[in-house]
Structure 1
Amino acid sequence: MAAPESIPWSPPSGWVRLSTLDLHTEGEPLRILASGLGPVPGATMLEKRRYAQGHLEGLRRLLILEPRGHADMYGAIVTEPTSPNGDLGVLFLHNEGWSTMCGHGIIALVTGLLETGLRPSTFPGLDPRRLQVKEEIRIDTPAGQVLARPEWSPSGHAARVAFRNVPSFAYALDEVVDVPGLGRVRYDLAFGGAFYAYVDATELGLDLEPQAYRSLIEAGMAIKRAVIASREIRHPLEPDLGFLYGTIFGGPPRDPAHQARNVCVFAEGEVDRSPTGTGVSGRAALEWARGRLRQGQPFTVESLLGTTFTVTLVEEVDFQGLPAVVPEVSGRAWITGRHEFLLDPEDPLSEGFLLR
């Protein structure tokens, strides 16, 4: 159990109140901070992320970890946009820190804002009514701007959200690393908003089913640590994006109408319940690099639970000298509840803890 950390935004005495809107995207949770924090400083989303890393760690722990959350909780903080044409910005948080982009988070965030008209205290100027009439919502993330497109049901609900992701690319193919307990493991590296090591689960004898949850965590973290120790990963544009976020195990789909199955182990042993939006973006870039996926061809990926995202390559681009693609990912999200959390200054575990 990690020791609690300070919360710079917390007053020296008195109770703190925070409210959230909670959703899940194809099984993966998202907790949106609705009130209790003001605007996050920073002229760019990467600057805001660095501010959060230095000043909002206690807030992250309180929202994500036990006793208010759990080891696999995920969160979002809405900010004002940092690009001239942006509608809003977002920072994503998890059990280890602050991610650079999150596909399931984009789908849930857009669904939550449109369905509830939420005006987060972190961006008081946000006008959800304006978002409801836009065909595309421009969202600034630390990895770049993504374009979200809601699909409306006949009853007027946001039934589905598709988002056009940042340029995604294969970084390395058919690499090999020695992993304690697993031997020599073959992997690919790709970027879809974050870097992942992609591993064929069948080569390791791993089953991509819920009952294999624990063994997938152990293998995924061992591979992640081994790859980090064995090589440097550099993003061609932003040094802050040059790190390995997780391991994605791939395998054949259970439904013959689909094309693949993904299980993503990221951060400090979190397991994504969805197919992973950034992960399917990177997988689509790998399939394209190997000549197995063409522009405009739908590619549907299952999660550990059997829920799906569909990714389509909408454009082929040159990204800082690298051949890349722009993927569009589509999925569904549902609201699960609202919460008001309290922080008692006398509570010795007020900022949360992690047991895994």
Structure 2
Amino acid sequence: MSDFLPKTNLLPGDLVIQTAEMHAGGEKIRIIEAGFPELKGTTLLEKRKWLMESADQYRKFLLLEPRGQPSLTCALLVKPDSPEVSDVGVIFFDKDMYGAACGTAVLCVSRYAVEKKLVQPASPETRVVIQCPSGLVTTHVQYHNGRTGQSRFQNVPSYVFARDVSVNVPGLGEVMTDIAFGGGFYAIVPAHRLGISLTESSTDAILDIAQAVSIQIALSVQYSSVFRTLPFLESLRASVKLNHPDSNDLAFILGVIITSTDNDAKDTCNDPCVELGVFGKRQVVVRRPQALLTGLRDVTYKTGKWSERLAHGPCGSGTSALMALLYDNGVLGLGEKRQFRNAIVGTVFTGSVVRETRVDGAGPLGGSVSGVIAEVAGHAFFTGSTAFTVEANDPVAAGYLPYRDAVSA
């Protein structure tokens, strides 16, 4: 058997997992409706941890080949910790790991909740409160004459965590980056500091420099113990220790954003385009907005293990992190709307800063920090429904990685 096939199949022979297939902005989301085992734990974070440690074969079953693909994210609906406060809980996972946030999935889950009557529909908008690992997210779904439309959500508090974090990039030397939080932590660096242009450099050149930056970010940031099973993180000499106010299991870098201009420039353009995600080997998106749209171009490199893809849509959590930085720099005004366009597909999310806030326990030393509540809007669509099954004599029933350099699944 190939080195990149799972060693064992721990799935029950009568397994049937039912899902609803959706997308928002072209990014595919798989909502799990039935078939998962009962999760152990009292809180959502405890259930997420149990799933990671004791039942990860279900993630691999749905997201590895032949049923999954690198651009797919799953949303597992669970009972929220406080049903009187939130309507539904959700655990996110993709081919790499379990994410803290996924704005695209939030847009899909909110419309799903209204369509499936998990909440009582109301016109002109139906309010849906979703408990994510990163916190509570309030969403509103357009509802008129029995039909749902666009969704919008106000994210958990977004804020700048650290400025001028030094990373030593081979061939370039010391490069300064900023780290911002938008449901997950992202490192943000202007392209000119890396000696590239997002409009003129080749995609391969951008990929190469993004990979170098991503590796050095990993070497410069101290992760929580949940990631120390990854060999290249075991002996890091970190210059920055990430701190999440709710759980150290959520203190990790989701991705690196490379922007086309200085993020403190007053002429920053109107069309920032961001896509971020969790721990992938060469996951990069080049955004080149149309010539008539003077947009902030950016590229995101996703740090981590093995999967490889171009993202297919904008991203809510990454958008929120970038908006927090732009607002803190005086570039983005309160209530000012910006478009976040995926130049590959052409789909758009709209983002704005709704209000300022304070976040207790979120600073590098555990103190409070200034933050913002960011709002992101987009349209989610249903694409189908699926029942996934297992046959006992299928040699790849548990899923497989089509990469020779993959770590053990």
Instruction: Give the TM-score band, short-chain normalised.
Output: 0.7 to 0.9
Check the 8 A contact 1:6/1:58 in 2, yes or no. no
Matched, 1:222 2:269: no
- Give the count of matched residue pairs: 340
Q: Distance in 1 between matches of 2:40 and 2:99?
A: 17
1:175 and 2:214 aligned: no
Give the corresponding residue for 1:160: 150
Q: Distance in 2 between matches of 1:73 and 1:197?
A: 23
Residue ranges of structure 1 left out of the alignment (5+ in a row)? 118-126
- Picking from 317, 337, 342, the partner of 1:298 is 337
* 2:114 and 2:126 in contact (8 A); partners too: no
Contact kept, 8 Å, 2:185 with 2:254, in 1: the verdict is: yes
Q: State the partner residue of 2:230.
A: none
Structure 2 counterpart of 1:289, one-letter code = D
Name which of 254, 260, 263 aligns with 1:245. Answer: 254
Structure 1 position 221, deviation (Å): 4.0
**CA displacement at 1:330 relative to structure 2:** 0.6
Structure 2 equivalent of residue 311 of structure 1: 351
Q: Is 1:4 paired with 2:6?
A: yes
State the shift of 1:336 in Å: 1.5
Distance (Å, rounded) in 1 between the aligned partners of 2:120 and 2:354:
26
The answer to whether the 8 A contact 1:262-1:301 is kept is no
How far off its partner does 1:165 sit?
0.5
Once the two structures are superposed, the pairs formed by residues 16-95 of structure 1 within 5 Å of their partners are 16-83=15-82, 84-95=84-95
Displacement, 1:88?
Answer: 0.6
**CA distance 1:155–1:136, change in 2 (3 Å):** closer
Q: Which amino acid aligns with 1:276?
A: C
- Quick one: structure 1 residues 192 and 265, their matched pair in 2 at CA, closer, same or farther if it must change by over 3 Å? same
Q: CA RMSD in A?
A: 2.6
SS at match of 2:137: strand
Q: Which of 122, 136, 143 does residue 134 from structure 2 map onto?
A: 143
- Maintained 8 Å contact 2:9/2:397: no
CA, structure 1 residues 285+22, in 2 after alignment: closer, same or farther (shift >3 Å)?
A: same
Following superposition of structure 1 onto structure 2, how do residues 93-242 of structure 1 map, counting pairs within 5 Å? 93-115=93-115, 117=116, 127-128=117-118, 130=120, 135-152=126-143, 156-180=146-170, 183-204=173-194, 205-207=196-198, 212=203, 216=206, 218-231=208-221, 232-242=241-251
| 1:260-279 alignment, distance < 5 Å | 260-266=296-302, 268=305, 269-279=308-318
- The structure 2 residue matched to 1:324, chosen from 364, 371, 389, is 371
- How far off its partner does 1:105 sit? 0.5
Q: Judging changes above 3 Å, is the alpha-carbon distance between structure 1 residues 22 and 221 closer, same or farther for their aligned structure 2 residues?
A: farther
Distance 1:309 1:27 in 2: 11
CA 1:131–1:198: 2 relative to 1, 3 Å: farther
Quote the offset at 1:227 in angstroms. 1.1
Distance 1:99 1:215, change over 3 A: farther
Shift in CA distance, 22/345, structure 1 to aligned 2, threshold 3 Å = same
Offset at residue 340 of structure 1 (A): 1.7
Per mean C-alpha deviation after superposition, the further-off stretch among 74-83 and 254-263 is 254-263
Indicate how the Cα distance of structure 1 residues 287 and 129 shifts in structure 2: closer, same or farther if over 3 A, else same.
closer
Distance 1:275 1:249, change over 3 A: farther
> 1:98 aligns to what SS in structure 2?
coil
Q: 1:334 to 1:228 in 2, by over 3 A?
A: same
SS of 1:173's equivalent? strand
The residue that corresponds to 1:289 in the other structure is 328
| Matches of 2:294 and 2:349, distance apart in 1 | 10
d(CA) in 2 for partners of 1:58, 1:221: 29
After superposition, the C-alpha distances for 1:197-227 in whole angstroms (9 at most, x for unaligned) are 1122354425379x83x65555444322211
Q: CA deviation at 1:258?
A: 6.3
TM-score normalized by structure 2?
A: 0.76
Change (3 A) 1:259 1:316: farther
Looking at structure 1, the residues matched to 102 and 81 of structure 2 have their Cα atoms a distance apart, in angstroms, of: 18
Residues 296 and 167 (structure 1), Cα distance of their counterparts in 2 relative to 1, 3 Å cut? same
Measured at CA, do residues 201 and 155 of structure 1 come closer, stay the same or move farther in structure 2, by a change above 3 Å?
Answer: farther
Following superposition, the deviation at residue 171 of structure 1 comes to: 1.2
> Aligned letter for 2:247?
E
**Would you say the 8 A contact 1:233–1:242 is kept in 2?**
yes
Hey, what's the Cα distance between the residues in 2 that align with 1:6 and 1:159? 43
SS of aligned partner of 2:333: coil
* TM-score for the superposition, normalised by structure 1: 0.86
The equivalent of 1:338 in structure 2 is 385
CA distances 1:203-261 after superposition (whole Å, capped 9, x unpaired): 4425379x83x655554443222112123322244212211111123236424556434
**Which residue type is aligned with residue 6 of structure 2?**
P
- Paired letter, 2:102: C
Counterparts of 1:102 and 1:161, CA distance in 2: 14
Which has the higher mean CA deviation after the structures are superposed, 94-103 or 200-209?
200-209
Q: What one-letter code is carried by the residue in structure 2 that aligns with 1:106?
A: V
| In structure 2, distance between residues paired with 1:353 and 1:20 | 20
